[in-house]
Every structure is written in structure tokens, then in C-alpha cells.
Amino acid sequence: MAFAVHRPESMEAVIAALDGTASVAVSGGTLAIRAINEGKSFPLAIVSLRRAGLAGIAQDDGMIEIGAATPIAELVRPDLAFLDGVIASFGAPAVRNMATLGGNLFAPQPYGDFGVALLALDASLAIAGPSGKRRLPLSKFYETGLASNEIVTGIRFAPPAPGTWRWLKATRRALNSAAVIAVAAIIETDRSGTISAVRIALGGVDSHPVRSPVAEAGLLGQVLDSASATKAGEAAATFHPCFTDTYASAWYRRRVLPVFMRRALLGTPLETMP
């Protein structure tokens, strides 16, 4: 149980209220409050991000900037329609109303669906802390984490060109199920169908969402078809360690990965999936 709850009304006040391991930033609270209730985390103080002005969605210069404290449910809007599949596969409505985009970047695997999607989008983070503000590519964030008392304030990315976005998540059940495997990709082809640019990110294969360099290298310059997509998935299943948890064994994840990679890349609609 925490002894104090702070509800700062600005980003600066959040930073001032954070106090190393004695306090915890809480955004939607779907993970942080559960950890406190279960006795796995015991901060002296909770610092809520909800009133700090860190929610909202803006577009400028062709880029989309989403405040870290924006609930997942608020991402349902026409200019973010490509994310509908990610949202539909995320928890259930009650969770989506509370869970935030920024909080998702800290979710342990096999959670972190938006981390996977945002890696494929090559997103960058706005970060604020006692030493000021900085920007960090999301891929670097997964390697370094944040410094003490820093918070993520926003997430920025370029929307994908029409027809280039892919998302597919293998789950044990339809609602409230973490990923067995999650695949996000941006794939561009030229007029002959040859892949000219590709970014693929995966969940369920490592300790945090990762890009798949072997799948990307295997696809670049190839014609996008069932054979090339399956081969890329098989290379990824050999390259990434995968892991065992209550949802699936590493063995099972390695078998699901090539199938879902192929289905994701070819854009197979769920209802017609072989």
C-alpha cells in the first residue's frame, strides 16, 4: 500500500514529485496498481499522470504525436484507422479505457502490443526529466530504458502510406489475452511486386518488442508471396529466442511465428485464414 497519492497538474510538477524508487508514476494503472495490490511493488507514493496534460493527439508536419497518457480507447479515430486491428486485439473495452499508450511501453512481454506496432512505425519518444527534455528512438528506449525520475511524455511517428501497414496477433482467446506472437510491419512494394522497403517488429519472441533484422533482410528485394513471407518467418523463428510463459511454450511460439508472419505480410483477412 502506498502512503501518498500525488496528482500533479503539469509535467514539471510530475518530475518534481517523482522520488526515485520511493515513488511510482501511474498512468492508467492497469499494471502499476495491480502490482501494488498484489504486494509486488511497494512505493511510498503514487504520482498520477492523469491530470498532467499528457493526453491528446496532434498532427503536424505530416507526423502524428500522441501524449503518453492517452488511453488506448481514444486512439479509435479516422486518422489512426490503421491501428484499429491493434486496438481490437488489445485487452477488452474496460482495459482499453484505462490503459495508456505510454504505459504500454513499460508493459512486460507478452504485453506491449503497441510497443510492437510503434517499433514497426519507427516511432520516437519525447522524454522529460530532472535534466530537461530529450528525444529517443523507441528502439533505443528498449535497450537503455529511462534515467531516474524521467517520464515519457509523447510518442511521435509518421503514418504509414496507404496499403503498407500490417498487424496480426496470435492469442489464446479473443479478449484479455496477451500475445502468443504479435507481428507488425510496414511493407512497400514496387510495381512489379518486389519489396522495396520493409520494417517488421515482433512481440512474444524476446524480453521486449524487437525489430526482426533477419526477416527484413530476407524480404528486401524479393517478390512478396507466400513462399518469401514463410521463409522470412522461419528465419525469424530461428533467430529470435522466443520464451515460455502461461500463454505458450517457446516451442509453440516458434511454430506459430512463420504462420502468422505469412498471414500478416500477405494481409490475409482473419475470416479466411488457412
Ligand X SMILES: Cc1cc2nc3c(=O)[nH]c(=O)nc-3n(C[C@H](O)[C@H](O)[C@H](O)COP(=O)(O)OP(=O)(O)OC[C@H]3O[C@@H](n4cnc5c(N)ncnc54)[C@H](O)[C@@H]3O)c2cc1C
Q: Does 26 bind ligand X (CB under 6 A)?
A: yes
Q: Is 136 in the site for ligand X (CB under 6 A)?
A: no
Question: Coil, strand or helix: which one is 263?
Answer: helix
Based on the shown chain and the rule CB under 6 A, indicate whether residue 49 belongs to the binding site for ligand X. yes
- Contact letters for ligand X, residues 144-183 (x by CB under 6 A): -------xx-----------------------x-x-----
Residue whose CB is less far from ligand X, 32 or 185: 32
Per rule CB under 6 A, is residue 229 in the interface with ligand X? no
- Cα–Cα distance for residue pair 136/157, rounded to 1 Å: 12
Q: Does residue 226 belong to the site contacting ligand X (CB under 6 A)?
A: no
Please check whether residue 17 is in contact with residue 130, taking contact to mean a CB–CB distance below 8 angstroms: no
Nearer to ligand X, 32 or 242 (CB): 32
Q: Which of 100, 124, 149, 228 binds ligand X (CB under 6 A)?
A: 100
Look at the block and give the residue holding cell 510495381: 191
Exposure string for 55-64, b = 16+ CB within 10 A, e = fewer: bebeeeeeeb
Report in angstroms how near the CB of residue 89 gets to ligand X at its nearest. Answer: 6
Q: Does 111 bind ligand X (CB under 6 A)?
A: yes
Rounded to the nearest 5 percent, the helix, strand and coil shares of the chain are 35, 25, 40
Nearest to 44 by CA among 66, 19, 62: 19
Does the footprint of ligand X cover residue 31 (CB under 6 A)? yes
Stretch that binds ligand X, among 111-119, 190-198, 239-247, 260-268 (CB under 6 A): 111-119
161: β partners: none
Sheet with strand 132-137: strands edge to edge: 57-60, 63-67, 151-157, 124-129, 132-137
> Which candidate, 178, 177, 235, places its Cα nearest to that of 203?
178
Contacting ligand X (CB under 6 A), which of 32, 83, 195, 219?
Answer: 32
Q: Based on the shown chain and the rule CB under 6 A, indicate whether residue 247 belongs to the binding site for ligand X.
A: no
Q: Does 104 participate in binding ligand X (rule CB under 6 A)?
A: yes
Q: Does residue 27 touch ligand X according to CB under 6 A?
A: yes
Taking CB atoms, the residue at the shortest distance from ligand X is 103
6, 17 contact by CB (below 8 A): yes
Q: Which of 8, 15, 30, 142 binds ligand X (CB under 6 A)?
A: 30
Other Cβ atoms within 10 Å of 183 Cβ, number: 30
Query: How many CB atoms are closer than 10 A to CB 194?
Result: 14
- 86 is a contact residue toward ligand X (CB under 6 A): no
Residue 204 touching ligand X (CB under 6 A)? no
Asked if 108 and 93 touch (Cβ cutoff 8 Å), the reply is: no
Whether residue 135 contacts residue 124, with contact meaning beta carbons closer than 8 Å, is answered with yes
Tell me which of 64, 75, 85, 106 binds ligand X, using CB under 6 A.
106
Between 103 and 258, whose beta carbon lies closer to ligand X? Answer: 103
Cell numbers for 270, please give them: 482473419
Question: Which of 6, 75, 90, 236 touches ligand X by CB under 6 A?
Answer: 90
Q: Where on the chain is the footprint of ligand X (CB under 6 A)?
A: 24-32, 49, 68, 90-91, 95, 98-100, 102-104, 106-107, 111-113, 151-152, 176, 178
